[in-house]
Structure formats: C-alpha cells, structure tokens
Amino acid sequence: MRKKLITGICTTALSCSLLVGGNGVTYASGTTTDASSNKAVKNVIIFVTDGMSLSDVNLTRWYQGGQALTMDKYFTGLVRTYSTDSITTDSAAGASAYATGHKIRSESVSILPDKITMPFVDAVKPGDANKPLPTIMDAARLAGKSTGSVFTCELTDATPATFLSHAYSRDNADSISEQMVYSGVDVLLGGGSGYLVPGKEEVNRKDGEDLTKVLKSNGYEYVTDKASLMKSTTNKIWGLFQPEALDADFDLNPKEQPSLAEMTKVAVDKLSQNEKGFVLMVEASQIDWYGHDNDPVGIISETLAFDKAFKEAIDFAKKDGNTAVISVSDHATGGLNMTNYDSAKDLVSVFKNAKRTSYGIEGIINEKNFKQVLAENYGLSNLTKEEADAVREGLKDNLSPVIGKIIGDKIGVSFSTDDHTSEEIGLFAYHPANFKPTDFAQSGVIQNTDVNKYIQNVTGLDLTSLEDTLFVSGQKFKDKGATVTIDKTDKTNPVILVKKAGQTLKLPIDKNIAILDGKSIKLNALTVMIEGKVWVSQDAVDLIE
C-alpha cells in the first residue's frame, strides 16, 4: 500500500493566508443569503481531490501547454482546512468536515472531537466526545435519495470512510469496511476488494467474514472487472477492481480497470434513476500519494484524471438542470513549487516523455536495468553519476522522489515537503442558478464545514436534527430499565445484548441490524463502539418497551 498516514504537523507556510480575514473566524453559521428562490437542487456531486493544491493545477495546465482545464471555468474561491487539533489536517479530519459539517480531531472518522486545541471550533457537549456524526449520505438515504461513492484508493482509506463509517482511528480497516458494507450506500466503485474477504494478505479480514456474501445477500451486484461494470443493468452495485488501490490513470490497463471518469459516469447514470435525487462523492485519491512521494508525473496523471471526471459531472449537471457540482480538496500535499524560467515548450517536451508514474514502473525496474527503464519510460538517458547513484539508493527504499527530482531539476519543479501543507485549497463549483458555496457563506474564503452546510442548504437535507436522534448513547437502554452487556464470544464480532422483561435485543457492532427475540430488523443507523462506548440508532432504543 502506497498511502502514508500523516500524524505530524507540516511547517510549510500558509501560502494563501494573506487572503483570509484577520481574526480567522468562520465565515458562515448556517444562515442563508438573499439568493434567488430557485437555488434548490435535487442532486449533488461532491468531488474530493485528495492532496490537490492550486500549484498542482498550475503544473497540470502547463503540461497541456497552458491550455485551460475543465475545472478552470468553475473556480469559485478558497477553502480553509484546519482540524480541531492542528493547523495542518489529515484526510480523515479534512474529509469528515465535508461529510458531516463539523471540524473533528485529526486521524478520526466522522465523530465529534475529544480534543480541541484550535480556535473558532465549537465546544462539544458533556458526554458527546467521540459521538458518531450523521453524514450527508445518511441524510440523503433517510430522505429517499440514492447515494454513491467513487474513488481510486482502497475503500477503507480516509476519505471514502468518512462518508460511510465512524471510527476513533482511520486505521481500523476491518471495522470501517464492515460499516461501509452495512451503510446502505447504493453504488460504490473503486479499489480494495481484499478488505472484504478473509485471507493471508495484510489487507484481508481477520474475523473470517466474507463481506461479499453479505453484499449479495442484501441485493447488491458485486463486480471486480471493468467489463462486468459496463454491462451492469442494476442500480445497486459494488465494484472493486483491485485488491488494494487502483492504478494511476497513466498506468492502468483500460481493458481491465475503469478510469475515474468512467466510474463517475456509471455512478451518475445509475443514481440518477431515482426520481428523488442523489448525493455522490467522487474522490481523486492519489494526487495526495504522489504529492507525498514528490512525483510530478503522478500528480499530473491524477489531476488530469480528476478533470475528466469533473467534466462528466458538469456535462450531466448542465443537461439535467437540477444538479450542483462541487470540488474541494481535503488538504494540499507536497508543497509543489514551479520556478521555471524557460518556455512552456521546454516543460512539455520533458513531461511528454513520461509514459508512466513512478508507481507504474515498480514491478519492472531494478539495479541492472534502471538506465534502460528510465530512458524508455521517461526519456531520462545519459544520467550523471550523481543521478545514477541516487537511483540505486532509491531502489533500496523509495524511488519515486528520486525520479521526481531528476525530472524536476530539468524544468524547475521542486517540492518543499513530503507531508501535508496547511495552505487554503481551491473551490470549484457549478449550480444551475449560479448559487455557489461562496454565495452561501458570503465570503470568497470559506471553511470546509461551510461546504457541507451549503449542500444541506441547496438540497433541503438537515443534519442538525439528525445529530440528536440518529446516534444515541447505549445508556438510553439502561434509562429504560434494561440490562446491557457485550457478548464477546466472537472477539472480532462483538454483539450488544439488551434484556428487559422477557425481551432480548441483539445489536451486532458495525452493522445496521437488530435482532429482537429472533426477528431481524433493519435500523436507520449503524451500531458502533468508539473507545469502549456504545452508540446506537434511536430506533434501536425504541424497540425496547
């Protein structure tokens, strides 16, 4: 797995901070503007371009000789991304803000924070620390809308996880994947098939459960190849096309793996069959990974892949007339710098020689053939002694930044860090009545939480009311006079046991089902355990008389 888990704080300067108001306060409090009355839409497509900075966009534009990208026309403003405990956020906290409308603690997944050290963050009510937060997907599902998630990473990675699960740590893959299977999402397409099945690989489940069987028993079509996806006729489908992440756009075999644009189009086609509308999250996952590894070719590959997917969404939205499209990043990564004083032609001539990303040559390059492989795949012939020595060292550890530096030195492209950065990120948006998140927030620089509030505003979905009812403490059973214990007969799949006056209620952790006196009942929300505390759906509590 190439993804790095970021726990530290970057030292990169706030490159856009001079554009922000002096005291740093939030820019919207849920109030609406005097916008036109036709701002309501039925559908929302939200893109999360993991790790994409405006410098990445600039580099990609110059890769095309300076030609505009699709996203350029829809640039709307800037977004602040800090978490409750750090100026520089990780993907879990960054994406959770878009999913829930709350800033949360870094490394956690869609739960209220138990740590607040940053200013301008609302305090958590006593007893609510680590409480699961309803997401925009929950609100859409309960309103009868269809929901979808598309990504190129593993399904358990931070951003997809935040929209469909809840966890104290983003590393809890077994719990997250099970929650996602029971989340009720209608369409899910991406990587990570290995996380659903038992086996000997590191990514495989340790509890022995085969979640693909659960999907099929719940009426989903489950596919693992592009051909099956493209001929699918059902509107309830999971497609996972690699055991872990998908290949980068420059590297993938188009006969075997769908591109981000293709998955986006399939998801939109299926979800739009619901007359009540849909909410779709699409993540361009690996811009971040190549930022960590300082690979400009990979950044270009995945930024272009996003731009093509974004075009698919925009084309649909304009034809549909009832769809808003938003694109944001959870944070920026890598601190890419361009200091090129040559012509665009010189830059393009270097980059056009790159046929693959640094990940794409991992299986074919070695110490004996590296000169040939770099010449054939990057046009990097006549390496200097210093460059050749650096490649040999890179082969022992991480070759990506070595190749990135050799290419970058030729055209004035460098990186300031291999970590996340705290700069504001770009906001791109389309609305049929031209009502943008910046209009909602009444500012050109908005908070990441404002994006979620904007989605609620234009769709009529209401997360605030759900926060009091969708997830409640298991203590509510005891308040009714019931006894609550945890059956750990299967240590990897604990079950909450609730008993009162002859009633026996079983609530399997990480699932949305209740078993009352032997009868299975579907719940409105998952049963989850966060740091030893049980949180349940209110309708589960209502089952006990």
What is the residue type of 307? D
* Cα gap 110→360, rounded to integer Å: 33
288 is in an annotated binding site: yes
Phi, psi of 261 (to 5 degrees): -65, -40
91 is a catalytic site residue: yes
Instruction: Name the residue among 541, 531, 528, 536 with its Cα closest to residue 165.
Output: 528
* Cα gap 532→437, rounded to integer Å: 38
Helix/strand/coil (H/E/C) assignment for every residue in 425-494: EEEEEECCCCCCHHHHHCCCEEEHHHHHHHHHHHHCCCHHHHHCCCCEECHHHHHCCCEEEEECCCCCCC
Q: Are 219 and 236 in contact (CB under 8 A)?
A: yes
420 is in an annotated binding site: yes
For 323, the enclosing helix (H) or strand (E) is strand 323-328
Q: Are 33 and 454 in contact (CB under 8 A)?
A: no
159 is in an annotated binding site: yes
Q: Are 531 and 130 in contact (CB under 8 A)?
A: yes
50 is in an annotated binding site: yes
Mapped onto helix, strand or coil, the DSSP state of residue 62 is: helix
Which pair of structure tokens corresponds to residue 85?
């405990």
What is the residue type of 166? H
CB atoms within 10 A of CB 399: 23
CA distances from 92 to 112, 158, 179, 304, 444 (A): 12, 5, 16, 24, 24
- Extract long-range pairs of 452-457: CB within 8 Å, 24+ residues apart: 452/97, 452/98, 452/99, 452/100, 452/101, 452/136, 453/28, 453/30, 453/101, 454/326, 455/44, 455/46, 455/136, 455/279, 455/324, 455/326, 456/101, 456/136, 456/139, 457/30, 457/32, 457/39
What is the residue type of 372? Q
283 is in an annotated binding site: yes
Q: Are 309 and 282 in contact (CB under 8 A)?
A: yes
Q: Which of 53, 91, 272, 358 is catalytic?
A: 91
Q: Are 380 and 320 in contact (CB under 8 A)?
A: no
* Cα gap 435→415, rounded to integer Å: 36
Binding-site residues for Mg(2+) sit at 50, 157, 159, 283
Binding-site residues for Zn(2+) sit at 50, 288, 292, 330-331, 420
Q: Which residues are catalytic?
A: 91
Binding-site residues sit at 50, 157, 159, 283, 288, 292, 330-331, 420
